[in-house]
Structure 1
Amino acid sequence: MMMAAFIILPLNMPMMQPVRAPFTLLLLAYLAFIGRPLLAAAWRHRWVYILPALAAASAIWADSASAALRHGILMTVMVTVALAAAIRLDIRQLAIAVLFSQGALALGSLMSMETMWVGGAHGAEAVVGLFPAKNVLGKRMLLVVLAAVAVMVGAGYRPVFKPIALGLSGIALFLIVQSLSASSIILLALAVPLGVGLAVVWRPATAIRGARPVIVSGVFLLLALGATFAIIGLRIDPLADLLGLFGKDATLTGRTVLWEAARQVIADHPLLGVGAGNFWAADNDQALILAKQFYKPDHQFSFHNAYFEIAVHLGAVGVLVFLGVFLRGVWTIGQTWWRTQGRADVFPVILGAVIAIRTLTEAEMFDALLLAPLLFWAVVLLSEEERGRAAATH
């Protein structure tokens, strides 16, 4: 059920619409079937419903009350699905569900190799596969790689899954490059060494007294020396050069245009925002101008920053609420891993790190039914559940 949910619910494309509605009803029926334990878990973790509740409450001051209420309800459904995953799966089952569900989409995208022209007159052909946009493909394939790394380096997975993970990660890597998704490439370069390092180097070091401080110091020293050599010795800017390969401007000119537009809206609605789901509306001329400027006339756009997105829709109050629940989630993942680091799976850590960084360049954490926020809250809630079970046994 969760594997199907990861494929269907967050996938916003026309070919899935005939399946999406009946499956949503089936999923709601499943949630009702596990209603008693789900309600008990919802009460234990009621703090994760604060942001969805605020989004729904913004119907009171929004121009379109129905849009705000719909956004809040869908966010509530997303968090509830994450909670259901947390009480029915363990972290390894969750990683396997992600690997196989997104791996199936990777295979489909590889077979289709559908392309789209991106970047206007000076753009290029990018592979989008089964997805509506190149960045969506890049983000989904990044999830395949993260899950594959967890399976390949983790203990407790069936041996048969490891070569499958290797094959699917190879396909995903190929598609990420072909999608010209610079952000996914950069995050990949950060997340894969982090996952492998935690499993191959850090985990064995937990059994050796004094080894971990030496490792941390060594990593920082190598990074500092490498950066100094690259920037001063070779006179290169690694970030600018990497972005240049994909036709990107290292100054993030496109995003700064969006962020400046967001600042103007925030100045007019500083405290409570315009209401959830109310800016990117079909009848909002300012939103339509921005979408067309960035060649996004056919599907919903965003400010490419979670904090600006939330500030526009829910104001300063929304940003404070989001920071509170999001930082608690990150802290939960980190604390749970630290307590069990000798045997902990790396999937929650690398997923949490990727999503935390991506809040600066993507608005997905305020979206209603995207896979990344669903998985983030699933690993957070699963970490809290595991910590609660561990405390109960002592």
Structure 2
Amino acid sequence: MRIAKAHFLDPRSNGPYGVGALALSIVVFAYSTIFGPIAVLAFYGVWMLLVAVDYRRALGNPWNYVWIFVFCIFCGLSVFWSLAPSVSARGAVQYASHILCAIIAARVCADRTLTIGVLVGVLIVLLYSFAFGGYHYDAIDGTYSFVGAFASKNQLGFYASLGVFFAGICIFALPFGLVAKGFAAATGLLSAYALVASQSATSIIGVALTVGVLVLLRAILALRPSTRRAGFIAALLLGVGFAVVAVNAGAIDTVLGLFGKDATLTGRTYLWSEGLAAFRGAPLLGTGYQAYWVQGFAEAERLWAEFYIGSRNGFHFHNTYIEALVELGAIGLVLLVATLLTIVVGHLLRVLNRDHDRSSYILLGLMVLMVIRSFAEVDSLYPYSVGSFLVYFAGGRLALKETARSAKTAAPRVDVGPAGASLEAARMR
């Protein structure tokens, strides 16, 4: 029996394949250190297979995605000044291929496929963690927390927060049936339990603020398109004003107290100061992509010892922007921030200027979650990370060009119903 290419590449008909590919990718990102290189090869296989089926439809016009790769190209160029050139070269190649897979996914996966695929992947990740994981003693703050099959409670919390986020999207933002909504509700409840069990303040605060932003944005979308921007600016100013008042009233200490944290954020402020000190040693270009946390390098070994990292790997400065400053200097930070801002602002403008753009609404919410986390974690800077995959998925979706105006006339709403995504299919061409 022959299977038409469209069943793999058309968002209207490739749901089962897309869900499987996304779920496998989520599991690989979570446990590649457990399952080894074969898992990473499986990740490449499910997305690169689509290039072999029809490279034109899988990749589209490469010039549409140049802006997405600018930061990655700079990571590759850092080989020429890196303190560990081989590490930087390998990391940059992995990062570029990882981004390419995310763009392919953005081209071929509808919103419904993304939502169910992530939920299935998160469910598998959490079930594995509950079955084979355990608790970890944090020598810094002297507490025990459930880390599952991860080495860090923050990673478990991140996957749990994605489960809560996409469960909400499935139930409230997309037209799924009762079976799918029931599955989403069950996965969301399990994710919420894992979120609480992990005691990850970053993940809990991040998903709570993201839900608040999406609810506020939904209220703004009830306005006429001509007044939405004014409504958004008013809400933004009100939010900033409320945040300033809350900070002056001691809200930060109160929130930290709820999670058993102190003003040092469990050693993060010290780690940030060490990162800024390292940045001053190479302020323009940095030490090179992934060239700071290298075994045998004195400063990395010192910080590993101070934070009881016996494995001497997998550590970072717990701040995306400080990590970028250390590894890639001021130039790298500017490129990274420009990429993130382009994705956030691009989807925000689509939401404010269009009616019923569910895709940008979902991806904007996802980017809000990633930006909130970026101040305390490093989710989007490295390959084989669910954070970087989803960030560049959002970037790839933004880069997709709309076709003729007739496509808008024929489908003024972004249809992500059971028949598929008409506008997404038009963008494929």
TM-score range, shorter chain: 0.7 to 0.9
Letter in structure 2 aligned against 1:44: N
Q: Which residue of 2 aligns with 1:303?
A: 317
1:264 aligns with 2:283: no
Q: Which whole-Å deviations, capped at 9, do the CAs of 1:278-316 have from their partners, x for residues lacking one?
A: 100011121121122223232311111111111111111
Letter in structure 1 aligned against 2:69: Y
Check the 8 A contact 1:275/1:313 in 2, yes or no. yes
Deviates more, 1:58-67 or 1:249-258: 249-258
Check the 8 A contact 1:8/1:16 in 2, yes or no. no
Q: 1:18 to 1:48 in 2, by over 3 A?
A: closer
Q: Return the match for 2:303 from 268, 286, 290.
A: 290
Q: Return the match for 1:372 from 387, 406, 413.
A: 387
Deviates more, 1:335-344 or 1:170-179: 335-344
Q: 1:202 to 1:28 in 2, by over 3 A?
A: closer
Letter in structure 2 aligned against 1:268: G
The offset of 1:237, in angstroms, is 3.6
Distance, in Å, in 1 between the alignment partners of 2:337 and 2:320 is: 10
TM-score scaled by length of structure 2:
0.81
Deviates more, 1:74-83 or 1:150-159: 150-159
Structure 1 SS opposite 2:321 = helix
The offset of 1:73, in angstroms, is 0.7
Deviates more, 1:131-140 or 1:206-215: 206-215
Distance, in Å, in 2 between the alignment partners of 1:24 and 1:190 is: 31
Q: Which whole-Å deviations, capped at 9, do the CAs of 1:312-343 have from their partners, x for residues lacking one?
A: 11111111211222211111221222233435
Structure 2 SS opposite 1:250 = coil
The offset of 1:359, in angstroms, is 1.9
Q: Return the match for 1:321 from 332, 335, 343.
A: 335
The offset of 1:207, in angstroms, is 5.8
Structure 2 SS opposite 1:362 = coil
Check the 8 A contact 2:293/2:315 in 1, yes or no. yes
Q: Which residue of 2 aligns with 1:348?
A: 363
Q: Return the match for 1:36 from 56, 59, 64.
A: 56
Deviates more, 1:82-91 or 1:10-19: 10-19
Distance, in Å, in 2 between the alignment partners of 1:231 and 1:202 is: 26
Check the 8 A contact 1:114/1:127 in 2, yes or no. yes
Q: Which residue of 2 aligns with 1:167?
A: 186
Check the 8 A contact 1:206/1:342 in 2, yes or no. no
Distance, in Å, in 1 between the alignment partners of 2:381 and 2:37 is: 25
RMSD of aligned residue pairs (Cα, Å): 2.9
Q: Which residue of 2 aligns with 1:66?
A: 86
Q: Which residue of 1 aligns with 2:292?
A: 279
Check the 8 A contact 2:350/2:357 in 1, yes or no. no
Distance, in Å, in 2 between the alignment partners of 1:341 and 1:217 is: 20
The offset of 1:70, in angstroms, is 0.9
Distance, in Å, in 1 between the alignment partners of 2:373 and 2:242 is: 26
Hey, which bits of structure 1, 4+ residues long, moved more than 4 A? 207-228
Q: 1:21 to 1:325 in 2, by over 3 A?
A: closer
TM-score scaled by length of structure 1:
0.87
Structure 2 SS opposite 1:368 = coil
The offset of 1:380, in angstroms, is 2.4
Check the 8 A contact 1:117/1:125 in 2, yes or no. yes
Distance, in Å, in 1 between the alignment partners of 2:24 and 2:392 is: 15
1:92 aligns with 2:112: yes
Aligned length: 386
Q: Which whole-Å deviations, capped at 9, do the CAs of 1:196-222 have from their partners, x for residues lacking one?
A: 4444x444x236997996798689769
Check the 8 A contact 1:291/1:297 in 2, yes or no. yes
Structure 1 SS opposite 2:144 = strand
Check the 8 A contact 2:379/2:388 in 1, yes or no. yes
Check the 8 A contact 1:85/1:378 in 2, yes or no. yes
Alignment of 1:1-394 (within 5 A): 1-12=20-31, 14-17=33-36, 19-24=38-43, 26-27=45-46, 29-33=48-52, 34-112=54-132, 114-120=134-140, 122-199=141-218, 201-203=219-221, 205-206=222-223, 237-252=250-265, 254-298=267-311, 299-345=313-359, 346-385=361-400, 388-389=402-403, 393=407
Q: Which whole-Å deviations, capped at 9, do the CAs of 1:147-186 have from their partners, x for residues lacking one?
A: 1111111133333211211111111111111111011111
Deviates more, 1:217-226 or 1:152-161: 217-226
The offset of 1:23, in angstroms, is 1.1
Structure 2 SS opposite 1:373 = helix
Return 5+ residue gaps in structure 2 as ranges.
Answer: 1-19, 409-429
Deviates more, 1:271-280 or 1:218-227: 218-227
Check the 8 A contact 1:206/1:212 in 2, yes or no. no
Distance, in Å, in 1 between the alignment partners of 2:354 and 2:44 is: 38
Check the 8 A contact 2:32/2:40 in 1, yes or no. no
Distance, in Å, in 2 between the alignment partners of 1:253 and 1:114 is: 21
Check the 8 A contact 1:41/1:83 in 2, yes or no. no
Check the 8 A contact 1:150/1:195 in 2, yes or no. no
Check the 8 A contact 2:379/2:387 in 1, yes or no. yes
Structure 2 SS opposite 1:128 = strand
Q: 1:213 to 1:28 in 2, by over 3 A?
A: closer
Distance, in Å, in 1 between the alignment partners of 2:250 and 2:139 is: 23
Q: 1:341 to 1:372 in 2, by over 3 A?
A: farther
Q: Which whole-Å deviations, capped at 9, do the CAs of 1:61-113 have from their partners, x for residues lacking one?
A: 11321111111111101210110111101223212211111122123333445
Check the 8 A contact 2:21/2:47 in 1, yes or no. no
Q: Which whole-Å deviations, capped at 9, do the CAs of 1:121-151 have from their partners, x for residues lacking one?
A: x522111112221100001111111111111
